[in-house]
Amino acid sequence: MQVSVAHHPPNTAVLTLRGSLDIDTAPALKANLSRLVERPAPHIVVDLSGLDFCDSMGVGVLVTAHGRAMEKGGWVRLAAASGFLSRLLETLGLTGYLSLHDDVETAIKS
C-alpha cells in the first residue's frame, strides 16, 4: 500500500491510499494517522479511491483514528469508498460513526 499526505486549507490533511489495506499494511496507515491525529482539532480526509482491498484490520485503524480525532475536537472523514467497502461499513454498523463522502472535495467542505 502507498500512502501520501497533502495539506489543504483550512487545517485539513488529505491522506491518499493506493493498493491493499490489510494486516500487513495497516501498521503503516496507523503510523500516518497517529501522527496526524496528534495535532490540535485534527481534520483528516482519507481518500480511498485508489484502495483495491480493505480487511478488518484496516477498518479498525480508521475507526480508532476517528475516535482519537474526536477526542481532540476533530474528525476523520472517508472519501470515495468502493461499493464493497461502503457495504462493509454499513454491515458493520459504522456508517453512522464514520462519515462517508463521494469525493475528497465534498468531504473537506462538509
pLDDT tens-place string over residues 44-100: 999 999 999 999 999 999 999 999 999 999 999 999 999 999 999 999 999 999 999
Instruction: Return the amino acid letter for 26.
Output: A
C-alpha cell at 30: 496507523
Contact 65, 71 (CB under 8 A): no
Q: How far is CA 83 from CA 20, 24, 49, 64, 69, in A?
A: 15, 23, 11, 22, 25
d(CA 48, CA 92): 18
Please give the distance of CA 38 from its chain centroid, rounded to a whole number.
15
pTM of the model: 0.94
pLDDT (tens digit per residue) in 6-57: 998 778 999 999 999 999 999 999 999 999 999 999 999 999 999 999 999 9
What 3-state class would DSSP assign to 91?
helix
